[in-house]
């Protein structure tokens, strides 16, 4: 009996540590995307994204992060004259992710909560990939304007 309990404790700690590491890479992706936006165009400081690692707080904070990241990326895309970029990058999938993750904790109907939680997990992965894609778009735009790796004075990209 004692060894079974130790096995469950070890398994739980392994899952928690894995979730923390994956969460840190996720938050790092979001933070780096914000850092690629000019400070004047950001609607949130990049370090505030790390509040997503606080359990329970993250359920509410994720809405603020999705909205701020969408606005900041949209501002940056417009400032760089990227006409093909979305107006509110990641906002729809991000809000859907937030709503599903919240619904996953509502125990009204267990099956529905489970499906909402699963949908939230899938949307979380999609959102993560989308933000990484938008971040790469900013890299490509920067390389187009400054092929030698130089940056404009003040970090602002020229308007087209």
Q: CA 87, 89, 90: angle at the middle one, nearest 5? A: 145
Task: Report yes or no: 26 and 128 within 8 Å, Cβ to Cβ.
Answer: yes
Task: Give me the pLDDT at residue 105, please.
Answer: 81
How does residue 158 score in pLDDT terms, banded at 50, 70 and 90?
very low
* pTM, 2 dp: 0.83
Q: Is the pLDDT of residue 124 over 50?
A: yes
Report the percentage of the chain scoring pLDDT > 70: 87
Would you list the domain boundaries of the chain?
2-155
Of 54, 141, 55, 52, the closest CA to residue 94 belongs to: 52
Task: Give me the pLDDT at residue 121, please.
Answer: 94
Neighbours of 52 (CB within 10 A): 20
Mean pLDDT (the chain) is 87
How does residue 143 score in pLDDT terms, banded at 50, 70 and 90?
low
- Determine the Cα–Cα distance for residues 100 and 119; give it in Å rounded to an integer: 6
Q: Is the pLDDT of residue 41 over 60?
A: yes
Neighbours of 21 (CB within 10 A): 10
Mean pLDDT of 66-84: 93
């Amino acid at each position: 009996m004692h060894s079974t309990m130790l096995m469950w404790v070890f398994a739980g700690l392994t899952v928690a540590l894995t979730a923390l590491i994956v969460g840190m890479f996720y938050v790092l992706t979001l933070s780096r995307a914000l850092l690629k936006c000019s400070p004047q165009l950001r609607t949130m400081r990049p370090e505030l994204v790390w509040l997503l690692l606080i359990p329970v707080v993250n359920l509410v904070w994720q809405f603020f992060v999705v909205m701020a990241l969408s606005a900041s990326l949209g501002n940056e895309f417009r400032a760089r004259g990227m006409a093909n970029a979305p107006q509110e990058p990641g906002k729809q999938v991000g809000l859907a992710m937030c709503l599903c993750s919240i619904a996953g904790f509502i125990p009204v109907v267990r099956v529905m909560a489970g499906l909402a939680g699963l949908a939230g997990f899938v949307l979380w992965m999609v959102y993560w990939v989308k933000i990484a894609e938008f971040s790469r778009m900013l890299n490509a735009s920067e390389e187009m304007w400054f092929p030698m790796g130089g940056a404009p004075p003040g970090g602002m990209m020229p308007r087209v």
